[in-house]
Amino acid sequence: MTQYVFRFGGGVAEGKAGDRNLLGGKGANLAEMGSIGLPVPPGFTLSTEMCTRFYEEGERFPDSLRDEVAGGIAHIEQVTGKTFGDPSDPLLVSVRSGARVSMPGMMDTVLNLGLNDETVQGLAAASGDPRFAWDSYRRFIQMYSDVVLGLDHGAFEEALEIAKEDKGVHLDTDLEAADWERLTAQYKALVLEGLGRPFPDDPHDQLWGAIAAVFGSWNGDRAKTYRRLHNIPHDWGTAVNVQAMVFGNRGDSSATGVAFTRDPSTGERCYYGEYLINAQGEDVVAGIRTPQYLTRAAREKAGAKAASMEEALPEVYGQLAEVFETLERHYRDMQDIEFTVERGKLWMLQTRTGKRTAKAALRIAVDMAQEGLISEKEAILRIDPLQLDQLLHPTLDPAAERDVVAKGLPASPGAACGKAVFDADTAVQRAAAGEDIILVRVETSPEDIHGMHAARGILTARGGMTSHAAVVARGMGRPCVSGAGSLSIDYKARRMRVGGRDIAEGEVITLDGSTGEVMVGEVPTVQPELVGDFGTLMVWADAQRRLKVRANAETPKDCATAREFGAEGVGLCRTEHMFFDPDRITNVRQMILAQDEGGRRSALEKLLPAQRGDFEAIFRIMSGLPVTIRLLDPPLHEFLPHAEEEFAEVARASGADVETLRRRAAELAEANPMLGHRGCRLGITYPEIYEMQARAIFEAAIAVARDGGEPPIPEVMVPLVATRAELVIIRSLIERVAAEVFREQGRSLNYLVGTMIELPRAALAAGAIAEGDQGAEFFSFGTNDLTQTTLGISRDDAGRFIGPYVEKGIFARDPFVSLDTEGVGELIRIAAERGRAARPGLKLGICGEHGGDPASIAFCERTRLDYVSASPYRVPIARLAAAQAALREG
C-alpha cells in the first residue's frame, strides 16, 4: 500500500531533504532538520501523491487515509504529551501547504487548529494566560473561516476595528481576554449567518476541513497564475504539513523571526534577519508591527533603538547562531529560516535555500569554495548564468519606486533612463548636447542606428526578441524594451500615449531591459562591478569549459568590450552593420540602386577604404584570435531608402536622378525580403560586391600582419547558402581575390572559407557542402534564420503571437531565444554529423542569438560544437554556461 503520511520530529524522520518531490520543500526540510537533531515541532506530511490522488478521486480522500492521519496525530500527541481535543490541555496544530518549489503566499495556511469553546478554557488554564488563549481562538476562527469555509474576511476585520474603537484603543495588543472572548462570539455568529451552519467544533472535523482546503488551494486562481508565470507544472501537486503549534506570542521570553545565514543582497558572511518579541509568525510578515534586527551589529549600523535579538534574548540567540552554522554545514548553502521562541525555547519552523541577488550569489559561491564548504566546481554550478546579466549592465536600484506604465519584451538587458525622443536625428542632437536620451520608435530600421547609438536605451512598440531593435541593441549593449504594444506614438506631434498618460518629447522615462518594464520619471540606477568575486569565478569557469566563446561584433568598440569580457575571437562580424553610419549608408544605397555593374563598382570603390579600415581595427584588437567576417547579407527592405531626403542624398552621391532611383527602388521591393535577394544570392548575381569585401579583408589582414605581432586569422563566411554549387562559386571568387592581393602585397597568410548554415537544405546537404577542396572549412549555425526557415515563422512578425504560444505551452520557450532542440536542433545534429563525416576536423560554431542562451549552449556542448558566439555583453554568461554544460554533460 502506498504510504501517504510521513512523520517527523521527536527523534522520528520518515522523510529526508532529497524527498522534496514527494514531501514538498517544506516537509522534506522539516524531516531533514529533525533527523540532524535540530528542534522541530513534531508533525507529519501528507505527500504530493496524496494531492494527485485527491484530485483524481473528485476531491475526496481514500478511506485508508483516516488511519494514517490518526497515526500522525498519535505521533504528535506522544511527543508533546498533549492530546488533540483534550479540554484540559489541548494539542493545537498548524496546517500548511508546501510544494516542491516555494510559491510564497500562493496557498493557504491554518494556525491554532484544535480550539473550540471547551479546549480554549483548557489552553487558558494550562498556559495561565486567558488573553493568549482567546486571542489564539479568534485568530483561528478568522483564518479557518477565510481559508476553509470561504467566508469574506472583511466582516471579521470590521468587527475587530469596532471592538478597538469601542474601547478607544489602536493596537491589537491593547485588547484583553474579555475583549477577545466577546469578539470570538461575534465571529462565530458571523459564520452562522454567512454559512447557515455553525463553526465546526470537533477538532477532527476541523483538521479534515483544513487538509482538504490546503490541497484545494493548489488549484486556486492565485496558485494557478503563479505556476503559469513561473513555469511550474500543474501536475506536481502540493504536500500538506500538519505540525504541533509553538507560540511566539506567550510573553516577553517568546518571539518569532525570519533569518538568512548570510546577507542575501551583498552575500556578506553575517546573519541577517528580523524578529518580533511576543508575536506570531504572521505578524512579522504582515507588517503590522515593525520588526527588530537580529544582530547588534545590524541594529547599530541602522541606528535603530529597539533591542536586537542578540541583546534581548542572548541565550536563545546563541542557540540560533549555532543552528545557522549547523544548517550551512549540512546544506552547504545559504539558508532562509523561520523560527519561533516559546518561553525561552527555540523551535525551527522552516529552512530552505535562500534567494539572493546576483552579487550575493557570486560572493557566497566564491566564499563557500574558499571556506572549503563546497568545491570550485560546485561554486560554478551555483550561479545562474542569466543572473550575471544583472552585473554586466547598470541596473535599477532595487530600493527605488517604479511607476510602471507599460510592459514589452525584455529585449536587451540593463536599465536606462532619459528623455523620450521620437526620431534618430533629434536623439543624436540632444545627446550631443549632453542629454540622456531614450529613443522611442514604432520599430527601428538601419536609418535609426545613429540615434540608437546616441541613446541610453531603446523602446519600440513593435517587434520581437530578434527584431532589428533587439538584435542591434544587444550588440551595442544598449538596454531595449521591444514590442510594447500598448504604446501609441504620434511622430508628428512628437508624443506618445501609454497607460492612460501622454508623454511629450523631452519627458523623462526609464526602461528596464531585463524585465521589459517602462516607467515614467527617473528611477535611479546602480553601476556594475566586474572585478573581485566575478573575476575569480570566471577563472574557475574557464578552467572547466571545452567550448570556446567568441563574440558577435562589428565595431572596434564592441570588439574591445568583447575582448575585455573574455571573448576568444569574433564569431560573426555582420558586414552590413558596418554601413549603418549615415555617410556610409548612402553609398550602400547607391550600390543597391545602381542600374549596372559600373554603377555598383563606383559605389563599392567608395566603400572599400572604410571597410578595410574597420577590418584593420578589428584584426588589431583581436590579434592572434580568429575573426569570422561574413560577406554582405542585407535583407533589402532594411536598406532601401524611404524618405524624400534619403533619395535626394543617394541622387547626390550617384549622379542619378531621384525619379530613376525611385523607380529602381520600386523594382527592387520584395514581397518577402527575408527569403529574397539576400545573402550569397547577392554575391552570385553581383560578384563585384563580394570581390570588394574579400579584397578589404585580405588587404587589412596583410597590413596588420606587416606591423608584426600575431597575425590575424581571417575566416571568411558565406551567408544563406543552400547548395554546394553556391559555395563553390563564392569560394573560388574569394580564393582568386586572395591570390591577387597576396601577389600584389608580396606576402600571404592563412585563412579559412566557410559557410553559415541557415537553411534546412544546407543542413541536410551538409556533407556535400563540406566536402573536398572546394567545400566549406567551417560551419557556423545561423540559428536566427535557421529557426525562421525551419519553423516557417518570420523573425520580424513572431512577436505578435509567440507570447500566447508560450503561455499555452506550445513552445516551452520562445524559439528565437532558446533553441528548439527537437526541430532546429535536429537539423544542427544532422549537419554536424554529415559535415564532419565529409571533412574530419570541420570547425563548428553557432552565431545566432542562441549562442548566448545557457540552455542552447548546453545543447551545443552535447552536440560537441567547437564554439559559441554571443553579443559582447553575453560573453561572460556564455563562458559560465559553457563551463556548467561541460561539468554537467562531461
- Please, which residue, 649 or 785, has the CB nearer to Mg ion? 785
CA–CA separation, 621 and 563 (whole Å): 8
Nearer to Mg ion, 517 or 758 (CB): 758
> Of residues 34, 782, 825, 845, which one binds Mg ion by CB under 5 A?
782
Separation CA 53–CA 235 (nearest Å): 11
Which residues, 6+ apart, have CB-to-CB distance to 301 below 8 Å?
none
Partner that binds at residue 415, options ligand PEP, Mg ion, none, CB closer than 5 to 8 Å by kind: none
**621: Cβ–Cβ under 8 A, 6 or more apart, which residues?**
556, 559, 560, 563
Least distance to Mg ion, CB of residue 502, Å: 39
Q: Cell numbers for 673, please give them.
A: 525580403
Scanning 43-51, 134-142, 662-670, 778-786 for contacts with ligand PEP by CB under 6 A, the matching segment is 778-786
Whole-number Å distance between alpha carbons of 238 and 226: 14
Task: Decide whether 25 or 852 has the Cβ nearer to ligand PEP.
Answer: 852
Q: Which of 404, 401, 390 is nearest to 484 (CA)?
A: 404
Fill in the per-residue mask, 781 to 800: x = in contact with ligand PEP (CB under 6 A), - = not in contact.
-xxxx---------------
Query: Binding partner of residue 460 among Mg ion, ligand PEP, none, CB under 5 to 8 Å per kind?
Result: none
User: What is the number of other CB atoms lying within 10 angstroms of the CB of residue 832?
Assistant: 21
Segment contacting ligand PEP by CB under 6 A, of 341-349, 439-447, 589-597, 779-787? 779-787
Q: Which does residue 846 touch among Mg ion, ligand PEP, none (CB within 5 to 8 A, set by kind)? A: none
Q: How far is the CB of 757 from Mg ion (least distance, A)?
A: 10
Is residue 441 classed as helix, strand or coil in its secondary structure? strand
User: For residues 731-760, which are near Mg ion according to CB under 5 A?
Assistant: 758
Which of 479-487, 572-580, 618-626, 782-790 is the region at the interface with Mg ion (rule: CB under 5 A)?
Answer: 782-790
Element holding 624 (H helix, E strand):
none
The count of residues interacting with Mg ion (CB under 5 A) is 3
Write the CB contacts of 581 (distance below 8 Å, at least 6 apart in sequence): 449, 450
691 binds, among Mg ion, ligand PEP, none (CB under 5 to 8 A by kind): none
Supply the minimum distance, in Å, between the C-beta of residue 784 and Mg ion.
Answer: 5
Q: How far is the CB of 758 from ligand PEP (least distance, A)?
A: 5
Residue 108 or 576 with smaller CB distance to ligand PEP: 576
Please state, in angstroms and rounded to a whole number, the distance separating the CA atoms of residues 186 and 91: 25
Report how far residue 851's alpha carbon sits from residue 412's, in angstroms, rounded to the nearest whole number. Answer: 15
Joined grid coordinates for residue 103: 510559491
Nearer to ligand PEP, 7 or 574 (CB): 574
Do the beta carbons of residue 757 and residue 782 sit within 8 Å? yes
Binding to ligand PEP in span 747-766, by CB under 6 A? 758
**Crossing angle of helices 597-621/644-654, nearest 10°?**
100
3-state SS, residue 425: helix
Please give the Cα distance from 31 to 5 (Å, whole number). Answer: 12
What minimum distance in Å lies between the beta carbon of 720 and Mg ion? 7
Which of 200/872 has CB closer to ligand PEP?
A: 872
Q: Which residue is nearest to Mg ion (CB)?
A: 785
The residue range among 7-15, 434-442, 705-713, 776-784 that interacts with ligand PEP, by the rule CB under 6 A, is 776-784
Q: Which of residues 572-591 bind ligand PEP (CB under 6 A)?
A: 572, 574
Rounded Cα–Cα distance for residues 860 and 205 (Å): 56
Site string for ligand PEP, 137-166 (x = CB under 6 A): ------------------------------
- Half-sphere exposure (CA, 13 Å, Cβ side) for 157? 5
Q: Is 552 left (phi over 0), alpha (psi -120 to 50) or beta?
A: beta
**In the complex, minimum distance from the CB of residue 775 to Mg ion, in angstroms, rounded to a whole number:** 20
Of 76 and 720, CB closest to ligand PEP: 720
847 binds, among ligand PEP, Mg ion, none (CB under 5 to 8 A by kind): ligand PEP
Q: Residue 495 or residue 577: which is nearer to ligand PEP going by CB?
A: 577
Task: Please choose, out of 415-423, 594-602, 781-789, 800-808, the segment that lies near Mg ion by the rule CB under 5 A.
Answer: 781-789
Neighbours of 44 (CB within 10 A): 29
> Given the C-alpha cell 567568441, which residue does it identify?
550
Helix runs in 677-823, H state only: 680-685, 687-706, 724-745, 760-764, 766-770, 783-791, 802-807
Place of cell 584584426: 619
Out of 210, 469, 585, 847, the only residue in the binding site for ligand PEP (CB under 6 A) is 847
Question: Which positions are annotated as active-site residues?
Answer: 468, 847
> How many Å apart are CA 31 and CA 20, to the nearest integer?
10
Q: Do 795 and 674 contact (CB within 8 A), yes or no?
A: yes
Cell matching residue 374: 563546497
Considering CB distances under 5 to 8 angstroms, the limit depending on partner class, which of Mg ion, ligand PEP, none binds residue 574?
ligand PEP
- Report whether 43 contacts 93 (CB < 8 A): yes
Between 699 and 785, whose beta carbon lies closer to Mg ion? Answer: 785
**Judged by CB, which is closer to Mg ion: 95, or 757?**
757
Q: How far is the CB of 785 from Mg ion (least distance, A)?
A: 4
Of 186-194, 784-792, 803-811, 817-825, the window that binds Mg ion (rule: CB under 5 A) is 784-792
Tell me the closest approach of the beta carbon of residue 470 to Mg ion, in angstroms: 14
Interacting partner of 594 out of ligand PEP, Mg ion, none (Cβ under 5 to 8 A depending on kind): none
Nearest distance in Å: CB 783, Mg ion: 9
Which amino acid is it at 165?
A: E
292 versus 466: smaller Cβ distance to ligand PEP = 466
- Rounded to whole angstroms, the Cα distance separating 12 from 28 reads 13
Which of 785, 796, 814, 866 contacts Mg ion by CB under 5 A? Answer: 785
Q: Which does 385 bind (CB under 5 to 8 A by kind): Mg ion, ligand PEP, none?
A: none
> Min. distance of Cβ 711 from ligand PEP in angstroms?
26
203 and 114 in contact (C-beta within 8 Å)? yes
Cβ partners under 8 Å of residue 178, min gap 6: none
* Cα–Cα distance, 168 to 162 (Å, whole number): 10
User: How many chain residues touch ligand PEP (CB under 6 A)?
Assistant: 9
| Helical pair 154-167 and 177-195, crossing angle rounded to 10 deg | 150
CA distances from 737 to 416, 712, 734, 743, 792 (A): 45, 18, 5, 10, 36
Distance in Å, CB of 461 to ligand PEP, minimum: 22
Q: Which residues bind Mg ion (CB under 5 A)?
A: 758, 782, 785
Q: Which residues bind ligand PEP (CB under 6 A)?
A: 572, 574, 758, 782-785, 847-848
